[in-house]
Amino acid sequence: MFPRRLAGAAAAAARAVPRSWGLLALLANQCSFVTGLRVRRAQQIALLYGRLYSDSARRVLLGRLWRRLRGRSGHASAVMAALAGVFVWDEERIQEEELQRSIDEMKRLEEMSAMFQSPGVERHPPEPKSPTGGSEAAEAKEQPWEMVMDKKHFKLWRRPITGSHLYQYRVFGTYTDVTPRQFFNVQLDTEYRKKWDALVIKLEVIERDSVSGSEVLHWVTHFPYPMYSRDYVYVRRYSVDQENNVMVLVSRAVEHPSVPESPEFVRVRSYESQMVIRPHKSFDEVSFISFKR
Q: How confident is the model at residue 293 (pLDDT cuts 50, 70, 90)?
A: confident
Q: How confident is the model at residue 74 (pLDDT cuts 50, 70, 90)?
A: very low
CB count in 10 Å sphere of residue 160: 14
Distance CA 61, CA 46 (A): 11
**Per-residue pLDDT at 267 exceeds 90:** yes
pLDDT tens-digit readout, 38-54: 556 655 665 665 555 55
pLDDT given at position 58: 56
Highest mean pLDDT among 44-58, 61-75, 194-208, 276-290: 194-208
Distance CA 178, CA 286 (A): 5
pLDDT given at position 151: 86
Q: How confident is the model at residue 88 (pLDDT cuts 50, 70, 90)?
A: confident
* Domain extents in the chain: 2-86, 92-292
Instruction: From the options 3.30.1180.10, 3.30.2130.10, 1.10.150.20, 3.30.530.20, give the CATH code of 92-292.
Output: 3.30.530.20
Ranking 86-90, 112-116, 122-126, 287-291 by mean pLDDT, the lowest is: 122-126
Highest mean pLDDT among 82-86, 111-115, 181-185: 181-185
pLDDT given at position 24: 55
Q: Positive or negative CA dihedral for 278, 152, 104, 165? A: positive
Using CA atoms of 240, 243, 246, 247 in order, give the dihedral in degrees to the nearest 10.
Answer: 0
Contact 278, 109 (CB under 8 A): no
Q: Which amino acid is at 292?
A: K
pLDDT given at position 187: 94
Burial 79-105 (b: 16+ CB within 10 A, else e): ebbeebebbbbeeebbeeebbbbbbbb
pLDDT given at position 113: 63
pTM: 0.67
Contacts of 199 (CB under 8 A, 6+ apart): 221, 222
pLDDT given at position 246: 94
Distance CA 8, CA 10 (A): 5
Residue 216: name the closest of 180, 246, 258, 248 by CA.
258
Residue 44 buriedness (CB in 10 A; 0-12 / 13-18 / 19+): exposed
Q: How confident is the model at residue 236 (pLDDT cuts 50, 70, 90)?
A: very high
Residue 187: name the closest of 236, 139, 221 by CA.
236
**Per-residue pLDDT at 2 exceeds 60:** no
Residue 219 buriedness (CB in 10 A; 0-12 / 13-18 / 19+): buried
Q: Which one has a higher pLDDT value, 204 or 113?
A: 204
**Per-residue pLDDT at 123 exceeds 50:** no
Ranking 25-34, 202-211, 282-291 by mean pLDDT, the lowest is: 25-34
User: Average pLDDT of 116-127?
Assistant: 51
pLDDT given at position 143: 81
pLDDT tens-digit readout, 105-116: 888 888 876 555
